Structure 1
């Protein structure tokens, strides 16, 4: 990443015309940028013909106020600059667009609701790294794919028209929004027309993940037996092999709709339903009656039926682990963080939305009922599993991902298991947000965006 970071300064249009740039002479010499010759200035999808005037003993870039506004820049902007002699193009960037689900224009301090602080954090991190970021929603997309109505932060949030970005981070949290024709057309159009890159471009279904990873013999060791639940025969077969099984909505999230089935006797079973207020339990005399109770739901919800696991616990509460895996500055998968999640009281799912609590991995392992003989290398094995699974998703699912939330578990024999892969990992689920502090996960996202865009 040799593209240098420079300050971009706006000059009155009465002093500097729109087709002239003033650039530090030392930088022009290093980058072999010709003076006084027609070049193309590029910023995302923005293109403009310019000539460059060298400025002695100066390292920044000066452009006219009018051009500054047309590009959607804000005062104090620092960007990366690179010159391609073959196309005579002077590029500024990277320009990053983050596609979010909704906006609240009537809340000027929190236009994106709960994720506003993350958006501020990302803006601050981009300034430090010489990138420019804006945020937009599906509602900002229309028939034109040449510009986007987005939000930028500079001593307050403001809405403005910006060029199509070099890189789009798809953080839509709804399949319905993601599948809107305007969204799909936008992603397709900007990729073909401008060479923009979109990552985390789609949701992952649970069945899709487990079916894909089964193809790799090295990954099967992490996979509990899982099948799409299609009929009673499959249901009875799984229940005959395991003392407990889980039914998980293929497209569910945040622990919604999960049902745990536990054998009580030779024929009888108990169904535990995950609800916001805790676990609701029902007993059934046999599997036929149990299946009849859920078959109505199967008409509208597709379930994955999965082998139950004897997970480690803290004080009788199940423990699992959320690993955040991200691609780095050279496009390779890394594990940014692994945190422990302990289920809340009267819950068997650990999601924070259901009362789960975060803690450090090592602390959770020490407090848990995991036998001491298995504790020593447990953290390393969690890291290895997360990395293996992220690489497996890349290899076997035809989509572009830059970060994945991978939910893992350890059973009482010390074995690591995969629970779920989330292609839209929450920014509150790995390390807590702190005002003014930039987390490693945010810095890593920008580094990957720079890698994708060539800056």
Structure 2
């Protein structure tokens, strides 16, 4: 059972020469800090193996003018979180778990201050916005071909125009996460009620059949609860046993400061789900197996090479668009029934990958890249006055 203890010497045996990484999260009155505790514990233990001091830091305790900060260390033997004093970090790894927490004015101000502070490197300043992602990727002729037709869902007329071009659409919340709030529209002109709307619930989907665009729009507005949405061309994905699947690529900076694929996993849609997300009923599988089943072994190998190359190209363009140095991202990619590769989404704060080899690599890369950043800083010439 997890407990929290207080201790003045929580950061015992700290050597000033060791690099320091703070895992940034939000404070919580009940559980002291929010976020995935097992992930934080894994990061702390991996950091130790790489010679780092790692601790959990609440936004409230991030004071940029202090040399020491209050934070939480982790004791593996007793599975306890220890409150104590820690050195000011060289790196701040943003793992604030909820978008609404990150958007609080006080939190945003702290993040902006970190970006301006030359002493600290902030990994991944904020969640991505879906609309911004597609805007950035459309700006480059290299990434544009991988983007499904996407537009803001602002008016009934705009949605109607899109349905003329595409008989199958996805509606996605701009600030969505893990498939929450996704809807799908199918236009079937031969039916009495030609507009079929599927809404993703927890592990199943709810279907409404509408006779007019007006009634469809009314239902969509009711279900969207005032959230901003994008409408996106639906892609007929390759399938395995009649269930569509997509791919999750984890892309991280490596020990040379370059983007590299840490791993690719596959997610198969649940029987009653319109998405492949595991919390919505999807399941994990092997990408090569699924692609071989759909396209044959030789073509599957070629596709995996193309998918890896595409993920790296997209990561570089997202970083250019964001105008901040990024350390990692995960992205959802799909292969349609004709073998074309498509980009659907990227996440600035990747969730844990369940595949053990990807998981291990994902933790190590954080510290390998941090070491690279430290070496780069030391090589920079020191500017002196006249």
Which bracket does the TM-score occupy, shorter chain normalised? 0.7 to 0.9
1:60-209 to structure 2, matched below 5 A, reads 73-75=11-13, 92-101=17-26, 115-141=36-62, 146-154=67-75, 155=77, 156-193=80-117, 195-209=119-133
Say yes or no: does 1:250 pair with 2:169: no
2:157 aligned partner: 233
Distance 1:377 1:101, change over 3 A: farther
Deviation at 1:181, TM superposition (A): 3.4
Q: Matches of 2:349 and 2:170 in 1, distance apart?
A: 23
1:452 aligned partner: 373
Please, which of 327, 338, 342 is the counterpart of residue 268 of structure 2?
342
2:306 aligned partner: 381
Distance 1:410 1:190, change over 3 A: closer
1:423 aligned partner: 348
CA RMSD, 1 decimal? 2.6
- TM-score for both structures, normalised by structure 2: 0.86
Deviation at 1:365, TM superposition (A): 1.6
1:400 aligned partner: 325
Deviation at 1:243, TM superposition (A): 1.7
Q: Matches of 1:166 and 1:411 in 2, distance apart?
A: 43
Please, which of 320, 326, 334 is the counterpart of residue 252 of structure 2?
326
Q: Matches of 1:143 and 1:254 in 2, distance apart?
A: 33
Q: Matches of 2:373 and 2:363 in 1, distance apart?
A: 16
In the alignment, structure 2 segments of 5+ residues that lack a partner are: 1-7, 379-386
Distance 1:136 1:374, change over 3 A: same
Deviation at 1:100, TM superposition (A): 2.6
Distance 1:250 1:190, change over 3 A: closer
Please, which of 200, 210, 214 is the counterpart of residue 284 of structure 1?
210
2:235 aligned partner: 309
Deviation at 1:431, TM superposition (A): 2.4
- Please give the secondary structure, in 2, of the residue aligned with 1:448: helix
Is the contact made by 1:125 and 1:438 (CA closer than 8 Å) also made in structure 2? no
Q: Matches of 1:440 and 1:125 in 2, distance apart?
A: 10
- Please give the secondary structure, in 1, of the residue aligned with 2:97: coil
- Please give the secondary structure, in 2, of the residue aligned with 1:216: coil
1:7 aligned partner: none
Is the contact made by 1:95 and 1:133 (CA closer than 8 Å) also made in structure 2? yes
Q: Matches of 1:430 and 1:390 in 2, distance apart?
A: 22
| Structure showing the higher helix proportion among its residues | 2
Please, which of 245, 267, 270 is the counterpart of residue 196 of structure 2?
270
Q: How many residues align?
A: 364
Is the contact made by 1:166 and 1:195 (CA closer than 8 Å) also made in structure 2? yes
2:338 aligned partner: 413
Deviation at 1:279, TM superposition (A): 0.7
The structure whose Rg is larger is 1
Deviation at 1:266, TM superposition (A): 4.5
Q: Matches of 2:139 and 2:169 in 1, distance apart?
A: 23
Distance 1:96 1:314, change over 3 A: same
Is the contact made by 2:26 and 2:60 (CA closer than 8 Å) also made in structure 1? no
1:219 aligned partner: 143
Deviation at 1:192, TM superposition (A): 4.1
Deviation at 1:122, TM superposition (A): 1.7
2:286 aligned partner: 360
Distance 1:104 1:408, change over 3 A: farther
